[in-house]
Structure 1
Amino acid sequence: MKRSRGLFFVITGAMFWGIGGTVSQKLFQEYDVDINWLVSARLLIAGILLLAVQFMKKDRSQLLGVWKQKHTAAALLIFGLFGMLAVQYTYMASIQLGNAAVATLLQYLAPVMIILYLIVRKQSVLSGNDLITVLLALTGCFLLLTNGSLTELSVPVSAIVWGILSGVALAFYTLYAVPLLKQFDSLVIVGWAMVIGGAALSAVQFPSPMDLVHLPAEALMYLLFVIVFGTMLAFWFYIESLQSLSPKEASLFGTVEPLAAVLSTVLWLSEPFGAFQWAGAGCIVLMMVLLAVQKEPALSFKKDLA
């Protein structure tokens, strides 16, 4: 029963993540929701909710304890701005300019970027598994973005650029968070990072409730899903799954996310997705599965941070 509970949480959380991106695409394309508004509202509300969960269920002292030392406070600010905010904004920009399926799959190039970074820094050596991982990522990326054509791209260049930047941001986010997560609970770090990122972007466009007046009820429901289900519950469910599943198992079942993003984009939004793009998506998902099942992976890529 405990394992079944863990499987429910990780699969449901991953599905919420993937579908949340597709729902965001609908908000951008059909209701002209401003990206600054959506990202800031999403981060602020979800961050506050996660900190509330920490306050009710876990060690409350950590909520303020992370701010008591200058080096951890500075690290948290950097993580919130250049990690959390960068990941969320670039991902949403890629969705707005392209679609959720491609944006999600491009973001999942982050593990390959980390592998290459560690090799360049001579903190790791290129293994056979790493080589297979890189080749799968490159093949998948080519097929996904070109649909097998050598003369044209399947999505706008701007969406590709933002998607690749999202992968870079997620790679930084994953590596930079490690020392903080060794000292403090993940709910504390991610919750505060969301609040920091959301507050910073709110300086550009504050998410005033008055901005909701012109949205129909259907759009408000989509917005609620993105914030609560696609952000707060998705993260919380993943964390809860780790109570009964190993990180390796959770990472493996977390591959449901890109599949959910692709299927919901194709079936619900009727986005075209060619045969070669399906093959490319399969290569990237296979890459993630290989990373998850490695006995000694070259990196610790945890989606529970995102």
Structure 2
Amino acid sequence: MVGDEAEKGDSMSKTVKGSLMVLLAGLAWGISGASGQYLMAHGTDVHLLTSLRLMISGVVLTALVLWRHKEKVIALVTTKKHFKELLIYSLLGLGLNQYAYLMAIRYSNAGTATVLQYLSPILVLIFVSATAKRLPTITESLAILLAILGTVIMACHGELSHLAISPIGLFWGVFSALTYAYCVIKPVNMIKTWGSLIVIGLAMLMGGVVFPIVTRAWRYPLMLTADNLVALIGIIGIGTIFAYTFFLKGASLIGPVKATLLASIEPVASVFFAIVLMKELFYVIDLLGMALILVAVLLISFRDLLLYQRERWLLKAVKRQKRF
């Protein structure tokens, strides 16, 4: 009895700690968007910013995983098949997503870009339904319709004859959602084998080496004023290194499904920081479109959470039966 109480208390403390870590990670990702917008508005080129973000974050995260899991890192980079998969994920997934997201911010703003990127769970849902050759459920269909409606409202303000945001901004926002969906689907097996932080850290490092070479990022000047330095810390230190490590640690404590649900605070935080820090103006109809997309994502997240909890409950019930 005492043991059960202690176990419950320990489980509760892990849940609270994990939830707080994930929420802080979501807020940190929100800060990264506003920081990126500030830097690009004050003379930092998107190619240079993407390169710096990938390179510095990759070095720090790889150093961290080398310190903790040196043998696994060496095993991954010396396994030809997995190294090739990691390289593809790095260039076509993580690296391209970072670039697309910053391009979306450049041609719209941090809040709009983040909300459009949050179409990715809906795209993953459509992909999974198509590959499984099944029709979406009623809940899934509702989520898809809400996401489409929210995107149309944001893009057109309800008038289909014109776009309320720039076409190129809309393109990069939707493209960032596509690349993010790829980032969710592609590394599933690698993450199961090697762990999230190892895969993400090495992928960022690879992207940080290749991306600046491809884009010749060194051609662009870096204006290192005090404010720009703070913004760099915001996008790299807080919005990437801190955010990823806290999210992954929090997810390990509360489970990936609940973590994904709590991380949905990111678009809300991004809009908030865009308004407060960048003085962006959002119309009521913009916020309505954003809300519809967020509701669509939450519908899928809540469904996944209920399924996850049901599976855990069934497993516990089976274990109890085995005891007797």
TM-score (norm 1): 0.91
Match of 2:269 among 260, 266, 279: 260
SS state of the match for residue 235, structure 2? helix
Query: Partner of 2:38 in structure 1?
Result: 26
Aligned to 1:12: 24
Secondary structure (helix, strand or coil) at the match of 1:93 reads helix
Within-5 A mapping of 1:79-228: 79-205=89-215, 211-212=221-222, 214-228=223-237
Unpaired runs of at least 5, structure 1: 298-306
Cα distance change, pair 109–55 in 1 and its aligned pair in 2 (3 A): same
Q: Is the 8 A contact 2:31 2:234 kept in 1?
A: no
> Which is worse superposed, 199-208 or 19-28?
199-208
Cα distance in 2 between the residues matched to 1:152 and 1:209: 37
Give the corresponding residue for 2:311.
Answer: none
Q: 1:59 offset after TM fit, Å?
A: 2.4
Residues 74 and 140 (structure 1), Cα distance of their counterparts in 2 relative to 1, 3 Å cut: same
1:1-49 per-position Cα deviation (integer Å, ceiling 9, x unaligned): 33322122111110010121111011111x1101111101101111111
Q: Map Cα deviations across residues 120-179 of structure 1 (whole Å, 9 max, x no partner).
A: 334443211110110110111112222333333222110100111111111112111111
Question: How many Å apart are 1:210 and its aligned residue?
Answer: 9.8
CA drift of 1:207 comes to 6.0
CA distance in 2, matches of 1:202, 1:188: 22
Contact 2:212 2:218 (8 Å CA) reproduced: no
Report the count of equivalent residues: 294
Q: Output the amino acid matched with 1:74.
A: K
Structure 1 partner of 2:256: 247
Residue identity matched to 1:45: I
CA pair 165-209 structure 1, distance change in 2 beyond 3 A:
closer
Measure, in 2, the Cα distance between the counterparts of 1:62 and 1:225.
30
Q: How far off is 1:215 after superposition?
A: 2.8
Higher helix share: 2
Q: Percent identity?
A: 27
Alpha-carbon distance in 2 for matches of 1:197, 1:145:
31
Q: Cα distance, 1:205 vs. partner?
A: 4.9
Greater alpha carbon shift after TM alignment, 44-53 vs 140-149: 140-149
Match of 2:7 in 1: none
Cα deviation, 1:269-303, whole Å, max 9, x if unaligned, reads 12121111111111111112111111348xxxxxx
Q: Which runs of 5+ in 2 are unaligned?
A: 1-12, 309-324
| Residue identity in the other structure for 1:22 | A
Find the aligned partners of 1:189 and 1:21 in 2 and give their Cα distance: 23
Could you tell me which of 60, 65, 83 is aligned with 1:73? 83
Residue 41 of structure 1 is matched in structure 2 by 52
Partner of 1:87, secondary structure, is: helix
Structure 2 CA distance for aligned equivalents of residues 253 and 121 of structure 1: 28
CA RMSD, 1 decimal: 1.9
Question: Quick one: distance in 2 between partners of 1:86 and 1:218?
Answer: 27
Q: Which has the larger radius of gyration?
A: 2
Q: Find the residue that maps to 1:126 and give its secondary structure.
A: coil
Query: Residue by residue, what CA displacement relative to the aligned partner does 1:231-272 show, whole Å, maximum 9, x if unpaired?
Result: 111000001112321222211110110000111112221212
Which residue of the partner structure matches residue 10 of structure 2?
none
